[in-house]
Structure 1
Amino acid sequence: MSADEQAFVLARSWPHLRLGDTDDYTTNEAVAAIARITMSWSPTSRDHPLSMR
């Protein structure tokens, strides 16, 4: 999933947790951190421990 797709999914999922304020700096930082963590540990990542690359 791309970073844009992740941001879209999070933006749609977070309002029920009251975390959907995109003008809030901490919400934007949380989305960015989740994207970084997810991208760095995705199964297709070269750094993933189970990667076959």
Structure 2
Amino acid sequence: MIRQTIERLPTRFRFSELHRACPGVSYPTLKRTLFDLKREKKVRCLGKGRDAEWERIGS
């Protein structure tokens, strides 16, 4: 569910946008999924802290 939601978000998105798009999903679960996708080189993090943006790589 989280991965499909990320595909529907704009290419660049903030964690808060993902959190709003996945009501009921815990913060740790969202973070774990993002870091799994980062390890798979499907997303990358641009910046640090609450102003950081995530960017989909490829499709």
Instruction: Please confirm whether the aligned pair reaches a TM-score higher than 0.5, indicating the same fold.
Output: no
- TM superposition score normalised by structure 1: 0.32
Greater share of residues in helix? 1
TM-score of the two chains, using structure 2 as the length reference:
0.31
Q: Report which of the two structures shows the higher radius of gyration computed on alpha carbons.
A: 1
Higher RCO (C-alpha under 8 Å, 6+ residues apart): 2
